[in-house]
Amino acid sequence: MKSQIIYHATNAGFAALILVVGGIIVKLLGHVLRKAISRADGRHALIVRFVVSAAEKIGWAFVIVMALEKLGVDVAPIIAGLGVTGFVIGFACQESLASLAAGLMIAVNEPFKVGDYVVVAGFEGSVTALDMMAVTLSTPDNKKITIPNKAAWGQPIVNFSALGRRRVDIAIGISYGSDISLAKKTALEVISAIEGVLPDPAPMAEVKSLDDSAVALTVRAWANTPDYWKVYFAATQGVKEAFDRVGVTIPFPQLDVHVHQASS
C-alpha cells in the first residue's frame, strides 16, 4: 500500500514537473517563433499572432497529454475522441472556419492594416481592430462595425490610406453666360493657395462637359491622405466664394418649357 502511494505521488510529481517545464518551453518557443517570423517579414503582424498562438496551443496539447500519460491515464481514447469531436465541431462551424480561412488570406495579402481608412463589405470607416475572424471599423459618425473576414475578403476592398496621397476632385457648374477662362483661372488660384495641396502633380481646372443647365468644370488637386477632407472642404467653399467675388454664376437647374396653343 505504501509503495503504491509513493508510486502515485512520484508520478504526480513528474506530471507536475512536465506541466511546469513544458509551459516554460512552450512560452520560450512562442517567443522565439514570434521573433523569427517578425524578422522574416515584420509587415504581417496578424499572421505572426496567428502562427504563434496556434503553435503555443499545439505545444500545450502535447504537454498535457504527456502529463496525463505520466499519471497513468490511457490517452488513446482521448485522442480518438478529440478527433471525432473536432470533426463535428468543424462541420458545425463552417461559417467560422470560412472566416478563419479568409483571415489567413487577409493576413498574407494585407489589403489594409489597423489605422487605414477603407471601404469593406460596403461599409466605410477606419480599421480599429483586426484578427483572424473579423475586421472592426469605426465610422466617421462614431459607429462600431464588426465585419466577419469571410464577408470582408469576399468583396472588393477600397483602401484610401494605402498609397499615401489622394486626388481631390471638385465638380462645379457655371452658367453659359459666365467667362469660362476667368472661372478656370479663379478656381486654380483658390485651390493652389490652400494649405495641404501638393505642388506636384500641379492642380488643374478644365471643362468636363456641357450640361443642360451649366458648363461643368472639374477642379483637381493632390493632397496627402490625412489632409484630404481638409483640402476638399476648403476648396469647395473657397471656389464658391471666389466665384461670387468675380461674378462667375453657379446656376440653378433650368428647364425650358414650350407651350403650343392648339388652333380652334
- Asked if residue 201 has a cis previous peptide bond (ω within 30° of 0), the answer is yes
Task: Kindly report the backbone phi and psi dihedral angles of residue 177, in degrees, each rounded to the nearest multiple of 5, phi listed first.
Answer: -85, -5
d(CA 243, CA 207): 16
126: domain CATH number is 2.30.30.60
210: domain CATH number is 3.30.70.100
Task: Identify whether residues 56 and 19 lie together within a single domain.
Answer: yes
pLDDT, tens digit, 9 for 90 and up, residues 155-197:
889 998 888 899 999 999 999 999 999 999 999 999 999 999 9
In a domain, 252, yes or no: no
Q: What is the 3-state secondary structure (H, E, C) of the chain?
A: CHHHHHHHHHHHHHHHHHHHHHHHHHHHHHHHHHHHHHHHCCCCHHHHHHHHHHHHHHHHHHHHHHHHHHCCCCCHHHHHHHHHHHHHHHHHCHHHHHHHHHHHHHHHHCCCCCCCEEEECCEEEEEEEECCCEEEEECCCCCEEEEEHHHHHCCCCEECCCCCEEEEEEEEEECCCCCHHHHHHHHHHHHHCCCCEECCCCCEEEEEEECCCCEEEEEEEEEEHHHHHHHHHHHHHHHHHHHHHHCCCCCCCCCCCCCCCCCC
Task: Identify whether residues 139 and 76 lie together within a single domain.
Answer: no
- Half-sphere exposure (CA, 13 Å, Cβ side) for 264? 0
Q: Which domain holds residue 180?
A: 165-246
pTM for the full predicted model: 0.57
In a domain, 149, yes or no: yes
Q: Is 155 left (phi over 0), alpha (psi -120 to 50) or beta?
A: beta
Q: What cell numbers appear for 263 in the block?
A: 388652333
Which residues contact residue 236 at a Cβ distance below 8 angstroms, ignoring those fewer than 6 apart? 170
Residue 134 confidence class, pLDDT cut points 50, 70, 90: confident
The residue among 61, 75, 2 whose CA lies nearest residue 26 is 61
81: domain CATH number is 1.10.287.1260
In a domain, 80, yes or no: yes
pLDDT, tens digit, 9 for 90 and up, residues 189-219:
999 999 999 999 999 999 999 988 899 999 9
Task: Identify whether residues 58 and 37 lie together within a single domain.
Answer: yes
- Tell me which residue has cell 483602401: 159
In a domain, 134, yes or no: yes
**Length of the chain (residues):** 264
Task: Identify whether residues 185 and 150 lie together within a single domain.
Answer: no
Residue 92 confidence class, pLDDT cut points 50, 70, 90: very low
d(CA 12, CA 10): 5
- Tell me which residue has cell 504581417: 44
Number of domains in the chain: 3
pLDDT, tens digit, 9 for 90 and up, residues 93-128:
445 566 677 777 777 778 888 889 999 988 999 999
| Model confidence at 150: pLDDT above 50 | yes
d(CA 137, CA 140): 10
Residue 46 confidence class, pLDDT cut points 50, 70, 90: low
